Amino acid sequence: MAEKRVMLSYQEMPKQWYNIAADLPTPLSPPLHPGTLKPLGPEDLAPIFPMALIEQEVSTQRWIDIPEEVLEVYSIYRPTPLVRARFLEQYLGTPARLYFKDESHSPPGSHKPNTAIPQAYYNKREGVKRLCTETGAGQWGSALAFGTNRFGLKCTVYMVRVSYEQKPYRKSLMQTWGAEVFPSPTDRTNSGRSIREKDPNSLGSLGIAISEAVEDAATHADAKYSLGSVLNHVLLHQTIVGLETKKQFQKIGEYPDILIGCVGGGSNFGGFMMPFMHDKIVEGKKTRIIAAEPTACPTLTKGVYRYDFGDTAKMTPLLLMYTLGHSFVPAGIHAGGLRYHGDAPLLCKLYNEGFVEAVGLHQNPAFEAAMIFARTEGMIPAPETAHAIKVMIDEALKCKET
């Protein structure tokens, strides 16, 4: 019987992140200042981010060392296993070999601590006392609560109201790690109050919650803002996922033909696929790299490639990305983590240049796929992950025809 789980030892865990900015065919377009619409300088970001993260945001250095303190916290749950979905293969009767990279082993249960930990670390090192953030389904808020707790920082979380109501246990998780949590839109910020005046029953959105968290950070000297997706430094930290995956495939003498991930802001998918994208760009490998997104928030498949704000209140810099418009509020689907109007500029550029494919999915077939997965592999996947599983099953079934 083939090995079910491909493991790495801590010694084998990558000690550097991979920065795809070093290998892009053309450079990334810079973010623009929301007031002047001119390219942003590092000093513009200094009120909301620590210098170390601003430097990573604009860096074109290919490999960036992971600090020892971060590696130590990573060791709580990393390296994570690469798992052969053999039971699912048998159920589908597919000749394809299916694997999944299992990021569920972190204490908050997702890939998000991979960036929450270094973000908390760099903020702490620069004397910041409190981090403000938004959260959709609660995964990012709990990851940051976990990360800030490790480094002795306070944490304030603005949680999208629809998720706050759907997933109240997430709030308890964040509070356990010491964070304070508010349903957004709140009455604590100007941006929250103005939304509530217009729509007292607003379900909230990631865009609104970002406005609130940025405003909180910008109006308090000892606080900074932390974003769980979209930005270059976030995708950089997430490359630990793809780098481990690559080593695991090397160990078993395989190389993937297709890589699939779900996209909310693009960080798990970006971090997972970018070390393989390196091979596609630099070595001409033919790997298909597919983004799965909900039809309720079809950023890549239906959005427009243009500069747009990251938030509803137009407080953030403008990013060149596929966008549904900064005022777009998606339906309250279960996959709260996929309800964002834009996507990471790095991912959007690669999609725009044809290196990445995208598929839109309704949540019902995604849930059917999740049920099949749970009843074959045993694990109950997140609703976000279910979108990627649906695409994986569809591709595996196509392999039967050829």
CB 262 within 8 A of CB 293: yes
Lookup: tokens for 287: 């790997």
Q: Which residues pair with 351 in a beta bridge?
A: none
Please count the residues of this chain forming the interface with ligand PLP, following the rule CB under 6 A.
18
Candidates 28-36, 175-183, 364-372, 377-385 — which segment interacts with ligand PLP by CB under 6 A? 377-385
- Choose between 133 and 229: whose C-beta lies nearer to ligand PLP: 229
Non-local (6+) Cβ contacts of 299 within 8 A are 263, 293, 322, 323, 324, 340, 341, 342, 343
- Choose between 124 and 351: whose C-beta lies nearer to ligand PLP: 351
User: At closest approach, how far in Å is the CB of 297 from ligand PLP?
Assistant: 11
Q: Cα-atom radius of gyration of the chain, to the nearest Å?
A: 20
- Choose between 13 and 335: whose C-beta lies nearer to ligand PLP: 335
Binding of ligand PLP at residue 81 (CB under 6 A)? Answer: no
Q: Which residue in the block uniquely carries the two structure tokens 């060149």? A: 320
Candidates 56-64, 202-210, 264-272, 303-311 — which segment interacts with ligand PLP by CB under 6 A? 264-272
Q: Which residues pair with 5 in a beta bridge?
A: 83
User: At closest approach, how far in Å is the CB of 138 from ligand PLP?
Assistant: 9
Residue 75 CB: number of other CB atoms within 10 A?
11
- Choose between 124 and 143: whose C-beta lies nearer to ligand PLP: 143
Residue 332 CA, distance from chain mean position: 19
Lookup: tokens for 111: 């890939």
- Choose between 50 and 337: whose C-beta lies nearer to ligand PLP: 337
User: At closest approach, how far in Å is the CB of 49 from ligand PLP?
Assistant: 17
The 162-181 site mask, x for binding ligand PLP (CB under 6 A), equals --------------------
Binding of ligand PLP at residue 337 (CB under 6 A)? Answer: yes
User: At closest approach, how far in Å is the CB of 303 from ligand PLP?
Assistant: 14
Candidates 156-164, 187-195, 246-254, 380-388 — which segment interacts with ligand PLP by CB under 6 A? 380-388
Of 195, 243, 263, 348, which lies in the binding site for ligand PLP, with binding defined by CB under 6 A? Answer: 263
User: At closest approach, how far in Å is the CB of 3 from ligand PLP?
Assistant: 25
Q: Which residue in the block uniquely carries the two structure tokens 């749950």? A: 77
Q: Which residue is nearest to ligand PLP (CB)?
A: 264
Binding of ligand PLP at residue 112 (CB under 6 A)? Answer: yes
Task: Give how far Cα 7 sits from Cα of 40, 50, 80, 329, 379, Å.
Answer: 42, 34, 7, 41, 18
Provide the residue type at 1 as one letter: M
As a whole number of angstroms, the distance between CA 248 and CA 316 comes to 38
- What 3 state SS string does 329-364 have? CCCCCCCHHHCCCCCCHHHHHHHHCCCCEEEEECHH
Of 114, 123, 139, 299, which lies in the binding site for ligand PLP, with binding defined by CB under 6 A? Answer: 139
User: At closest approach, how far in Å is the CB of 234 from ligand PLP?
Assistant: 7
Of 181, 236, 385, 395, which lies in the binding site for ligand PLP, with binding defined by CB under 6 A? Answer: 385
Candidates 56-64, 216-224, 378-386, 394-402 — which segment interacts with ligand PLP by CB under 6 A? 378-386
User: At closest approach, how far in Å is the CB of 229 from ligand PLP?
Assistant: 3
Of 267, 299, 316, 363, which lies in the binding site for ligand PLP, with binding defined by CB under 6 A? Answer: 267
Binding of ligand PLP at residue 266 (CB under 6 A)? Answer: yes
As a whole number of angstroms, the distance between CA 354 and CA 290 comes to 11
How many helices (H) and strands (E) the chain has is answered by: 16, 14
CB 293 within 8 A of CB 263: yes
> How far from each other are the two terminal CA atoms of the chain, in whole angstroms?
25
As a whole number of angstroms, the distance between CA 328 and CA 175 comes to 30
- For ligand PLP, the binding residues (CB under 6 A) are 110, 112, 139-140, 229, 262-269, 337-338, 382, 384-385
